[in-house]
């Protein structure tokens, strides 16, 4: 009898931001195929006898090929196991979940998708930033900052969006800023970088767009980073609430 694969979003990092369905599936799954960004607190929810398969993709280091991930999922499901494919954030937001769903469908393997809280939304919120604000921002654009994608983006469009959120852009901040400014975005546009959002190690840094790369490097911020560019990056709602509470 064939098993089933669940493409599950693990959320932005903190274990208590998993959905109830994701937590339930982790406790029941016989096999959990997980990414690098899935932390130990989340994996601790797995049943004790579950097979944990690490299929991490490490920038600049050894990575598991996407085709190998497809093979593992199909193989374990055909062996009759209930499999959770656990991906950081949401599987369908720059998580290659769509490719995995296509591979499972082509192999005749049954699957379900369990959405997760994307770091594109969670990181700004955890940093006290509202991506939309009636007086400041009525549009959001989310893009990947991978170097190979930079040549494909419409920089004129990105420069004109109210709020720009960049995932996986830790290594390309300087080039992203250069292209945005060249396309007409002001160099003094507020920007924020959020590292390891929702975890105890979360760090944030605010700087004008034209100075962001230098500031991030000087502060030693590292991947995973979420970048927010736009007027809302100057609106620190946590600070406002703290000031109001002390008043």
What does the DSSP assignment read for the chain? ---EEEEEE-BSS-GGGS-HHHHHHHHH-SEEEE-TTS-HHHHTTS-TTPEEEE--B-TTS-B--HHHHHHHHHHHHHTT-EEEEEESB-TTSSS-HHHHHHHHHHTT-EEEEE----HHHHHHHHTT--S-BTTTBS-EEEEE--HHHHTTS-HHHHHHSSEEEEES-GGGHHHHHHHHHHTT--TT-EEEEEESTTSTT-EEEEEEGGGHHHHHHHHT--SSEEEEESGGGG--HHHHHHHHHH-
CA dist., res. 126 & res. 116, Å (int): 16
Cis amide prior to 22 (ω within 30 degrees): no
Sign of the alpha-carbon dihedral angle for 185, 187, 190, 194: positive
Q: Which of 16, 41, 57, 162 is catalytic?
A: 57
Q: Tell me if residue 35 is catalytic.
A: yes
Catalytic residue among 35, 87, 90, 236: 35
Please indicate whether residue 57 is annotated as part of the active site: yes
Angle of helix 66-78 relative to helix 97-106, nearest 10 degrees?
A: 50
CA distance 61 to 57: 8
> Which residues are known to be catalytic?
35, 57
């Amino acid at each position: 009898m064939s098993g089933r694969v669940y493409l599950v979003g693990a959320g932005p990092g903190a274990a208590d931001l998993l959905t109830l369905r994701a937590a339930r599936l982790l406790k029941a799954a016989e096999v959990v195929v997980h990414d690098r960004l899935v932390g130990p607190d989340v994996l601790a929810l797995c049943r004790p006898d579950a097979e944990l398969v690490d299929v991490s993709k490490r920038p600049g280091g050894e990575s598991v090929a996407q085709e190998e991930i497809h093979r593992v999922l199909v193989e374990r499901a055909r062996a009759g196991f209930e499999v959770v494919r656990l991906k950081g954030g949401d599987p369908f937001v720059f998580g290659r979940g769509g490719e995995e769903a296509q591979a499972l469908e082509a192999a005749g393997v049954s699957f379900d998708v369990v959405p997760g809280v994307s770091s594109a939304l969670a990181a700004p919120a955890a940093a006290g930033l509202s991506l939309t604000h009636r007086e400041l921002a009525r549009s959001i654009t989310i893009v990947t900052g991978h170097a190979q994608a930079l040549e494909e983006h419409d920089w004129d469009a990105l420069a004109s969006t109210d709020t720009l959120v960049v995932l996986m852009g830790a290594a390309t901040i300087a080039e992203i800023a250069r292209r945005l400014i060249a396309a007409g975005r002001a160099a003094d546009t507020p920007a924020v970088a959020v590292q390891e959002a929702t975890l105890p190690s979360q760090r944030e840094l605010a700087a004008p767009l034209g100075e962001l790369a230098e500031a991030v490097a000087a502060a030693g911020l590292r991947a995973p980073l979420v970048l927010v560019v736009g007027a809302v990056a100057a609106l620190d709602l946590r600070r406002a609430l703290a000031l109001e509470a002390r008043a």
